[in-house]
Structures are given as C-alpha cells and as structure tokens.
Chain A
Amino acid sequence: MSSVFFALLLAATPPPDADEILRRAQAVVLGETAGYTLRMTVTRPGKAERVVEIKGFKKGDDLGLIRYTAPPKERGTAYLRKGDNTWLFLPSAEKVVRVGPKQNFGGGDFSNGDIFRLSLTRDYTATLAGEETLLSQACWRLELKARDRSVAYDRVVYWVRSDGTYYPVKADYYTLSGRRLKWLTLSEVGRLGDRSRPTLLTMESALEVGAKTLLRFLTIDDKAKPDDRLFTPSALERGE
C-alpha cells in the first residue's frame, strides 16, 4: 500500500528543473572538493591496452591536479588545471609547460577538459528533454547547449537516473556540426569513500570503432581539503 502511495506521489511530483538535476548529478561522482586515485585503461583495436594509475585532487570547478603514480616510467608526470589553463610537469626535464585544454588526456578518449572541467552547469544551459529508460534505468534526458564556443563540445545529451539518486548514466558529446564525437557511460555503482556512486567511467570514441578509455576510481576521499596553493604551477614544479 505504502509503495503504491510513494509511487503515486513520485509520479505526481514534478521533476526538479534541468539545472538542478544537472547540478546534483555533477556532484555524484566527485563532490566540491575531493582527493582520489584511479586507474585509466586505454583500449585501441589491435593494440595492447595501456594502463596508468593516477592520484588527483579537485577543488571546486576550477582547480584540478593529477599525478601519474604508475607505471614507474610515467611516475611524477603531472597535470594542473586552473580555470581555462592547463600545465604539464615533465619530471625528466624538471619543467612545467602549458598544454591546451582540448588535448587528449594521456592519449586516451578523455580530453583534458573532460577530466578537469567537471562543471557542465557553468559551461552549458540545460533543458529537460524527456524521460527515458536507458540501460534498464529510468532516466531524465537533459539537452545541454554550450554557453560559448570555448568549451570542447557544442552539445551534450545527458541521462540522469530519476529514482532520486541523481546518478548520471550516460552522456553523448556532439560537435558543432552535429556529429556525435564520443559517449560516456557511468556504471558499477558501489560504495567508495563515504557514499555510493558510479565508480567506472567509460568513454568511447565514435571516430574509431572499439576505441575506449576506462577510468576506474580506486579510492575517493570526500573530506580532502587541499590548499589552494597546491593548484599553482610553482607547486607543480616542486614535484612529488
């Protein structure tokens, strides 16, 4: 009786507006501030998998820092993102160089922007385009349109679970010409850190059949409180 009541109640409750859905979905995987470790696996048809492990910090929408921790030959290489600026630290040269935000991150299917610029709410205007079942999940379908042309994708279609968890399920990324460039699937919901969340992010390329990059979160520390000065080129140059 009560479950029927709640089902009716949910059905009768209007969904939150699109910006609110997007805002809550964005905070699901990594909150405002976090420290984390993850494993990135890059798959290319006919080639051996490439696996790297990463330790990272994020703070707000503007600050991100990651360092490669494995394999040993990549250890110490680090990326810093601050607003629209991205720097790369090369330990062999002990040098910090600027790299563009649209460059592929680590040679995979995620761009630097995908990794560091996690704020879709700031870069896109969202509209609720409907409700769909996707990957066996009831979802809201959001249409995101770039606020300006500085971002990597002109349009993003974003599916968010409508069961109250706000877990993002999938995102399709489109170019200015309307072509789907790649798509992201968020899966393997599990407890990591203080709460449950999708722990596997898979980016697949529409440009190369079978090409994909997996980001598997290994640890997440929602209580990390990195100092803002960690996110400076000077701190990057200091190495780890």
Chain B
Amino acid sequence: MSRRLACLVLALSAAAGATAGEQEIELGLENFYYRTDETLFNRGNILGLDRGEDLLRGTLRLKRSLGAARLVVSGFVERRLGGGDATETTLRQAYLQYGWGEGLTLRVGKQRIGWGSGFAWNPTSRIEPPKNSLNTSLEQQGAVAARMDLIPVTWAGLVLVAARSEVDRGDLPFETPRARRRTGALRARFLLADTDLALVFSGGKNQRTLVGFDLARDVGALSLHAEGAFYKGAELPPSRDGQTFFRLAAGLLHARGDDSFTLEYFFNGEGYSDASAAAFFSRLEAAFRLAPEAYLAAVGTAYAGGLGLRRHYAQGSWTRGSAGGKWTLSGRGTVGLSDGGIALTPGVVYAPRGNVTLHGEAVLLLGSKESEYGHSPLRGALSARVKVLF
C-alpha cells in the first residue's frame, strides 16, 4: 500500500470518526493452510514452498455512513509462515461514496466493482483481479477506481469506471506476476421485458479491448444469466493478435426453502486444446531446464491469466442457510471439462451470535493428475475465518 494512500485512508477514517452517523466495524482472523508439492507448475520447488504453508491474517473493516456519504476501509495484516516468513499489509478497499438523490452516485478509491453476472467467472471484467473460482466466497481486493452510477430512468442506467489495478490471484502463498492495467469501462444497463440486459465496453493499457453483454432473467423457478465478451488477440500465450476470441459464462440459480443451487458453464474461447495444452506444458518443462526466469513467468500464466488455461469448465454449488440462522452449509465443485480436473470446496459457517461468524472451508483437488488442477503446486487447502461485527 502506498504511503500517500495510507495517509489518505487514515485521514478519512479520522474525519468520519469525528462525525455522527452509522458505523460498522468488523474485526477478523483468517488462516489459510496449504498442502503443497513439486509439480509441473513448481519444478524443483522453484516457488520455495514448504509442504505446509500458512497465511495468518488479522483483518479490519470499517464502514461509516453519514447521510448520502459513505466511507469503507478494509484490509489485513498477513504473516506468511512456511518457505519464506514475511509480513505484509494489504488494503482490500478504501473508498468514499456520495449519492446525489437516486440518480447519481460517485465512488472514488480502492473498491470492489462487482462487474458482471457470472458467479465464478466474469468474462467482461478486466477491471479487478479475477475471482478465485475454486472459492468464490473469499473476499477480493478491489481496484483503485473512480466509478459513476447514473440512473436517468428506472429502466436504464449507466456505469462508468476508470481504474488502475494490479491483476493477480490473491490468497496464495507465493508471488505471481502482476499485470498492471489502466482500464476504462462502460456498462449500459437496461431492464426490458423482465430481462436484465447490459452492454459492456472495456479497454485500456496492458489489456485487450472487449465488447460484451450480460443477460439475466427468470424462467419459471430458475434465474438464468449469461455473460459474454468478444475481444481481439489472446491473453494466454501465444498472443494470436489477429484472432477474435469469445468467452461466455452462463448459468442458473434455483432457490427452494433454505437451499439454493447454482450451476455455471464457462467457455474460454482462447483456452488451450489438448494439443496446445500439451505443447504449453512441454514448453514449461523445457523452460525450467533452460531458463528458470522464463519458466516462472510462464507458470504465472496459470494464475495471472485468471480465467483458466483450458476451454471448458463447469461449476455447481449448493448452499443451505437462512437469514438469522446459526448454520450455513455449502458445497462447491469446479470441473475442468477439457481435462478432467476437479476441485471440491465444502464449507460451513457457524454464527453463535448475531455478530460473530466462524467460517471453515476446504479445497480438495481430485481428478486427472495431468489436468490444470493436477499440475497445481497447491494440493489442498483449509481455511478458517472468524469475524466479529460491532
């Protein structure tokens, strides 16, 4: 976190604390334990991982509202215990929001954008770091951005974002290459014939320009969504500059009583075919022998690429819980349909009191050892989080 930004956040927090208004404070403790191994993505343990890696975090979130203004600050101090011990401070969000009536809202600072209807994958988003599709419940870092929401009429709205972000996948016990992006993005939203429709344009520095769409509507007891994007040139190597690619995340949500179910399919048009994946993997092996730096950069593709190396993925989830309830159970399964990799993420949340929650989750990697997930140096994970709200 830059010193200037930290000073600004502290000044804003102090200013907010000095005024009347509604305030929420959340304190938390998070621990991520990873079981690791030497795999294709970690030849010779080049990432320097212990067999067991721990990330221990203390988290803080502050939200203060005063009339139409709102300040949100959240972040954590992390101690890595394992192959390399290190302490880091990370700001997840720090923004100010102000609304002029219902028609115009401006939000400035580091913030989550929530761009797109996809549950696990958001093909239209180039603004923020991608979600961890194996565990979408993890709190993500935002992007430093100015966002304007304009609602001129009830059936149409416009969202404009100018953002600067470092795209990497968080919550990992090793560094991944960070693509620094400057993004300008526009989302025109409509509600037409009981259908949510959004048209998206996004472009900027260090990224492909895309045009996309987002659709959602209810059909019977199902809520359906489809989020797609077209762009020229690949994000995964090789760059294939003249080629147009398409990505699509389409899925459904069904809720019945305390249970809700989701299913989502992701088509990654630039993802590797079996032959291309085999070539990529063999290039990795060669790079490890000849040029470890190039190897590390290429391995980072699997993480910084963000949306996956292969073409077809699916995710299903089940959640049982209700408002005010003590227990929430969940199960999530992500399947690499192209290569047979499987990740299961069971979870439980216990709320002994209305302001205390305890989260426990695991990630189990199953399926083909030759798959993208099979090559991951992280062979399994456990996470425990405690949150207390005031």
Contact = CB atoms under 8 A, between A and B. Distances in A.
Contacts, number: 129
B191 A227 contact: no
B114 A83 contact: no
B65 interface: yes
Given A98-B196, A235-B151, A227 B323 contact: no
B114 A93 contact: yes
A237 B114 contact: yes
A40 B323 CA distance: 10
A104 B217 CA distance: 19
A92 interface: yes
A230 B218 contact: no
A100 B191 contact: no
B88 interface: no
B322 A107 contact: yes
A42 B322 contact: yes
Nearest to A240: B65
A82 B218 CA distance: 13
A72 B389 CA distance: 6
A106 interface: yes
Contact of A106 (B97, B151, B222, B323): B323
Contact of A100 (B99, B223, B326, B390): B223
Interface in A75-118: 75, 77, 82-86, 92-104, 106-108
Contacts of A97: 117, 119, 223, 225, 253
Contacts of A50: 322-325
Contact of B194 (A70, A85, A100, A228): A85
A177 interface: no
A233 interface: yes
A45 B387 CA distance: 29
Interface of B: 24, 65, 70, 97, 99, 101-103, 105, 112-114, 117, 119, 136-137, 139, 149, 151, 153-154, 157, 159, 189, 191, 194, 196, 216-218, 220-223, 225, 253-258, 321-326, 351, 353-357, 387, 389-390
17 contacts: A40-B324, A48-B326, A52-B323, A70-B354, A71-B353, A71-B354, A72-B355, A73-B355, A73-B387, A74-B354, A75-B389, A85-B218, A95-B114, A100-B220, A227-B103, A234-B157, A238-B149
